[in-house]
């Protein structure tokens, strides 16, 4: 299902350069492209750190602005290998 991926990807958004740990595109269950912004964090529960959550949401918002109309999801990948999706 994975058809494109990049690591340490810089993107320009709102006058700033953001560096995404990993951005990938896969085919969703409905066959349409689905983008994932992945942010690697060593701590066990980055989803409980408001600053880190805000940063990841900003990354997702930037990718969504670059890919209008496409699904963009975001998740932390923890030091323990857990994938924790961050919603709105």
pLDDT in tens, 4-16: 999 999 999 999 9
pLDDT of residue 56: 97
Token output for 70: 């496409």
Taking only the tens place, the pLDDT of each residue in 26-48 is: 998 888 999 999 999 998 899 99
CA distance 12 to 66: 10
Token output for 18: 């953001």
pLDDT band for position 1 (cuts 50, 70, 90): confident
pLDDT at position 22 over 90: yes
Taking only the tens place, the pLDDT of each residue in 53-70 is: 999 999 999 999 999 999
pLDDT of residue 31: 86
CA distance 87 to 63: 15
Q: What is the 3-state secondary structure (H, E, C) of 21-60?
A: EEEEEEECCCCCEEEEEEEECCCCCHHHCHHHHHHHHHHH
């Amino acid at each position: 299902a994975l058809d494109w991926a990049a690591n340490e990807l810089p993107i320009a958004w709102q006058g700033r350069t953001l560096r995404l740990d990993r951005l990938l595109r896969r085919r969703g269950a409905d066959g349409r492209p689905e983008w994932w912004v992945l942010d690697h964090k060593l701590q066990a529960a980055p989803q409980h750190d408001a600053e880190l959550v805000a940063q990841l949401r900003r990354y997702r918002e930037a990718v969504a602005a670059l890919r209008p109309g496409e699904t963009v999801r975001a998740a932390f990948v923890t030091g323990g290998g857990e994938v924790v999706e961050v919603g709105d």
